Amino acid sequence: MRHRSELWLADYIDTFRDDSGRLHPLVEMKRTHSWRVLANAERIVGALGWDEELSDGALAASLLHDTGRFPQFATYGTYYDGSSVDHGRLGADVLAVSFPWRGGDAGLREAILGAVRLHNRRELPTEGDERTLRLARLVRDSDKMDVLNLVRRYAEEGRINDLLPKITPDGGHSPELLREFSTDGRGSYRNVRTLQDFLLLQLSWVLDLNYGPSFCLLKGSGWLQWVEARLGRGAETEKLWRSVEDRMASEE
């Protein structure tokens, strides 16, 4: 399944190349992101010790999680779901029709499609098919770990607007976002205005990680130290920082 997923996704992405054989830089970014998420998933699954079938499905779902990004960008010219389409749902629809499923895949097919469909939800459902939810949690962890490091790299290189064209590189936190965090400890993309806002939102993702090996990856990346140096710690964000530190400590 994993090998077949790699072959199919590479061929599928090739259909979005222009006449000169090139991919738009933002599409190329999503192509390389897909394989980095797969690499993260391999490390997490390897540490979890799942059985072969579930591991294989987890790796396939992680690689294929952003299938919907490619037709999304081709059609709408954006990766903002709010102004285009739910890329998780679109990806699951594409895979259901176009992926070369085999008879032996029947047991995992719905779990993989469900994980792709759910991976970008603000929150996963608490009830449902347990195998689907296990894969969805794994995809979310693997995806988040790469996006954290991707944003860091673009910020350090001074080209964050190549990745996030709608945010302001400079400036502090938006009052609306801080108000959200003070109310329920969570923020939303609709109130992200600046890079500082986006990093604060990413910091809250730590509370949504699901598996112990994911916390090990985060700790080893140095991301928390980097984002603390970038954001600083003020009274309005201290509660979130304490929650993140408590969660990290609970996974040691």
- Residues 186-231: pLDDT tens digits? 888 889 999 999 999 999 999 999 999 999 999 999 999 999 999 9
189 and 231 housed in the same domain: yes
* Position 176 in a domain: yes
Instruction: Pull the structure tokens for residue 218.
Output: 């985060």
Number of domains in the chain: 2
Examine the domain organization and report whether 195 and 131 are in the same domain: no
The rounded distance, in Å, linking the Cα atoms of 137 and 215 is: 13
- Are 13 and 129 found together in one domain? yes
240 belongs to a structural domain: yes
Residue with tokens 């199919």: 8
Is pLDDT of 176 > 90? yes
For residues 134 and 232, state if they share a domain: no
Give the chain's mean pLDDT: 94
pLDDT of 185 higher than 90: no
Domain stops at, among 139, 156, 177: 139
* Domain shared by 175 and 132, yes or no: no
Residue 77: inside a domain: yes
**Domain assignment of residue 154, yes or no:** no
pLDDT at 250: 93
**Cα(first)–Cα(last) distance of the chain, in Å?**
33
- Does residue 127 surpass a pLDDT of 80? yes
**Residue range 44-56: average pLDDT?**
94
**6 domain residue, yes or no:** yes
Q: Mean per-residue pLDDT for 155-179? A: 92
The answer on 11 and 132 residing in a single domain is yes
Closest CA to 27 of 43, 44, 15: 15
CATH number of the domain within which 50 lies: 1.10.3210.10
20 pLDDT above the threshold of 90: yes
**Same domain assignment for residues 133 and 185:** no
pLDDT at site 166:
86
- The pLDDT of residue 2 is 85
Residues 97 and 201 placed together within one structural domain of the fold: no
Task: Give tens-digit pLDDT for 135-164.
Answer: 999 999 999 999 999 999 999 999 999 989
Give pLDDT, residue 74: 97
> Do 205 and 105 lie in a common domain?
no
Residue 192 lies in a domain: yes
Distance separating alpha carbons of residues 120 and 68, to the nearest angstrom: 11
Tell me, yes or no, whether 111 and 56 share the same domain. Answer: yes
Are 57 and 93 within one domain? yes
pTM of this structure: 0.94
* 36 domain residue, yes or no: yes
- 17 with 71, same domain: the answer is yes
DSSP per-residue string spanning 3-50: HHHHHHHHHHHHTT--TTSPPPHHHHHHHHHHHHHHHHHHHHHHHHT-
Q: What pLDDT sits at residue 234?
A: 87
pLDDT at residue 64, rounded to an integer: 98
Choose one of 94, 121, 139: the last residue of a domain. 139
The reply to whether 152 falls in a domain is no
Last residue of a domain, one of 123, 139, 155: 139
Q: Containing domain of residue 203, as a range?
A: 167-252
